[in-house]
Structure 1
């Protein structure tokens, strides 16, 4: 019976055949231990010399790393293995012999591994990270679909910036200027006026010349937008969403978290509600911690966010930022106009901001004022203004960066390991 590693638990005591690659092997005289992978998981195959034909045992001893083969054997329970099963091999058939596979079990530098990213993805830890990424995506759809959201796909080519930044990738759109999208948010606001609650999931681009472990040039964003929802309600959606994703990974990616040696006790506490502090309180706290360089009105850097995160076990919201350091579309606090109804969600353990969100301006006259202050042209943003002219309502939204979230949940050091083929400042290959 042909099956996959992920399905062998259904075939204990039965003989099965699996198409696999050899990840590694070791032998001790009359027994060969084959570390097999088939894309769905990793499993050990045990070849006992006395139980197989001589040519099968010889092949098991000589087969090279990453060669592909058909493996036939009986599924056995194995309490010593985190996977719980092993294959008592009775037959091997070589499909293709790999010669001089470049990524060996020895240590390799990050540049070498990134040059061979197309092969590095096969390794157990990289496989685990991608499976966790997949679970976050799956549970994201589950969360929003179960709550009546409609998925809407914003354009990737746009005629303007979403936040007035200059860090955009420029291209020619026939005879017009165009840019790769840095956010689908403005378009999601239009969609929310048509569908009430919407979300997008897609690639975004920042031409930011950053080399930090938190930054990618191309990354993926989940961007919900909700009509008739205020700032406080939006925060509740955010903490429920993040809680749902983390608990889904804990439930469905136990083997992957084990492979990454992730301390799951730090994830088990991630359940709504999350703590909240205001920007004012954050400034006071940072000064008390010895950050003499920070003043009211400054944006937070990575060291500031890490210090705030270390004071909390769960992700923490920082709310009510100064208006001048946030985007033009954020709604001012009606009780204090110099701050906006916005929040950043800071992940624990030094992973930084994973969500930025706000209540949006719904007042036409105030939005006109913002256009003038930020020198936004009617040509590029006329349609966005019209959302306030025709049936404007209170509405809120947020954006979650997928790769930073994967890095935090998986416990990996750098976001370059959280996307299949990272695009970095000096890397467009492979």
Structure 2
């Protein structure tokens, strides 16, 4: 019976065949222990010379790291294994004998591993992180499907910026200038006026010359937009969304979290509702924590976000930032013109902002005023202005950075480990 490693526990006491790669091996006299992987998981195969004979045992002992093979054996229970089973090998068929595999069990530098990222993702730790990424993607789509959101795909090539910034990748679109999208938000607002509740899930690009552990040049964003939803309701949806993602990973990625040594107790507490701190109070908190230079009107950097998050054991919303440091489309607080109806969700344990969201301006005259203040051209943004001209409604939205979320939930130190092939300031290979 042919199967995969993640299904072995369903076949205890039976003889099965798996296709696998040899991630490592060790031998003790007349027994060889093969560490096997097949993409679905890792398992130990035990080869006993007295049971398989000289030829098969010699073949097993001669295997090199990352050789590919078919392995036949009896599935046996083993409490020491993360899967609860091991494979008592009866036959080995070598498909390809790898020679001089460059990533050995010894320590390697980060740059070396990044140069060999196409091979590094085979390792147990990287496998675990990418499996958690996959589960987060599944949980995202599951949450929105179950809550009647429609998935809409905005364009990647655009004629303008979503937030009026210059950190864009420029290209030619035949005879016109075009840019790689840094956000699908504006298009999602248009989609929300047609479909009510929508979300996008796609790549975005930001030409920021940043080398921090939280930044990538190419990353994936989840961007919901919701018609007839105001700021407070949006916050409630966000905390339900994050709670669903985290609890899904805890439930479905137990082995991967153990592989990474993740403290699951810190994740188990991530359930709605989340604490909320106004920008005004956040400034006071930072001054009390020794950030004497921070003043009202300043934006927060990574050290500020980390300091605020330290006071809480779950993600925290920082709400109502000053209007002048936020995007042109954010709706002013009706009770206070100098701040906007927005919130950043800060992850605990120093992982920083994972969500930025706001209620959007729905008043045509105010949006026209914003256009003038920010120097936005009618040609590039005419269609966006028309959303306020033809059936405008209160609406809100937010953006979740996938890689930062993976880093937080998996406990990865740097976002470069949370995407299969990261694009960094000085890295376009492999």
Q: Is the 8 A contact 2:6 2:83 kept in 1?
A: no
Q: Which residue of 2 aligns with 1:260?
A: 260
User: Could you tell me how far 1:61 is from its partner in structure 2?
Assistant: 1.0
Q: Is the 8 A contact 2:345 2:355 kept in 1?
A: yes
- Distance in 2 between the 1:289 and 1:122 partners? 43
User: Could you tell me how far 1:80 is from its partner in structure 2?
Assistant: 1.1
1:298-377 matched pairs, under 5 angstroms: 298-377=298-377
Q: Is there any run of 5+ residues in structure 1 with no aligned partner, and where? A: none
Deviations 1:87-144 (A, max 9, x none): 0000001000000000000000010000000000100000000000000000101000
SS of structure 1 residue aligned to 2:413:
coil
User: Could you tell me how far 1:82 is from its partner in structure 2?
Assistant: 1.7
Deviations 1:39-60 (A, max 9, x none): 1100000001111021111111
Deviations 1:171-214 (A, max 9, x none): 01011110000000000000000000000000000000000000
- Distance in 2 between the 1:337 and 1:215 partners? 32
- Distance in 1 between the 2:83 and 2:2 partners? 19
Q: Which residue of 1 aligns with 2:138?
A: 138
Q: Which residue of 1 aligns with 2:383?
A: 383
Q: Which residue of 2 aligns with 1:108?
A: 108
Runs of 4+ in structure 1 over 4 Å off: none
- Distance in 1 between the 2:56 and 2:162 partners? 62
- Distance in 2 between the 1:83 and 1:99 partners? 29
TM-score by length of 1: 1.00
Q: Which residue of 2 aligns with 1:150?
A: 150
Q: Which residue of 2 aligns with 1:9?
A: 9
- Distance in 2 between the 1:236 and 1:422 partners? 32
Question: 2:183 aligned with 1:166, yes or no?
Answer: no
Q: Which residue of 2 aligns with 1:242?
A: 242
* Number of equivalenced pairs: 430
Q: Is the 8 A contact 2:152 2:198 kept in 1?
A: yes
Cα RMSD of the aligned pairs, angstroms, is 0.4
- Distance in 1 between the 2:69 and 2:423 partners? 33
SS of structure 2 residue aligned to 1:388:
coil
1:218-233 matched pairs, under 5 angstroms: 218-233=218-233
- Distance in 1 between the 2:232 and 2:247 partners? 23
User: Could you tell me how far 1:159 is from its partner in structure 2?
Assistant: 0.3
- Distance in 2 between the 1:354 and 1:270 partners? 14
Q: Which residue of 1 aligns with 2:194?
A: 194
User: Could you tell me how far 1:9 is from its partner in structure 2?
Assistant: 1.4
SS of structure 1 residue aligned to 2:266:
helix
- Distance in 2 between the 1:288 and 1:88 partners? 61
- Distance in 2 between the 1:83 and 1:288 partners? 48
Q: Which residue of 2 aligns with 1:47?
A: 47
Q: Which residue of 2 aligns with 1:61?
A: 61
Q: Is the 8 A contact 2:9 2:83 kept in 1?
A: no
Q: Which residue of 2 aligns with 1:185?
A: 185
Q: Which residue of 1 aligns with 2:22?
A: 22
- Distance in 2 between the 1:55 and 1:317 partners? 64
SS of structure 2 residue aligned to 1:327:
coil
SS of structure 1 residue aligned to 2:388:
helix
TM-score by length of 2: 1.00
Q: Which residue of 1 aligns with 2:206?
A: 206
Q: Which residue of 2 aligns with 1:119?
A: 119
Deviations 1:365-392 (A, max 9, x none): 0000000000000000000000000000
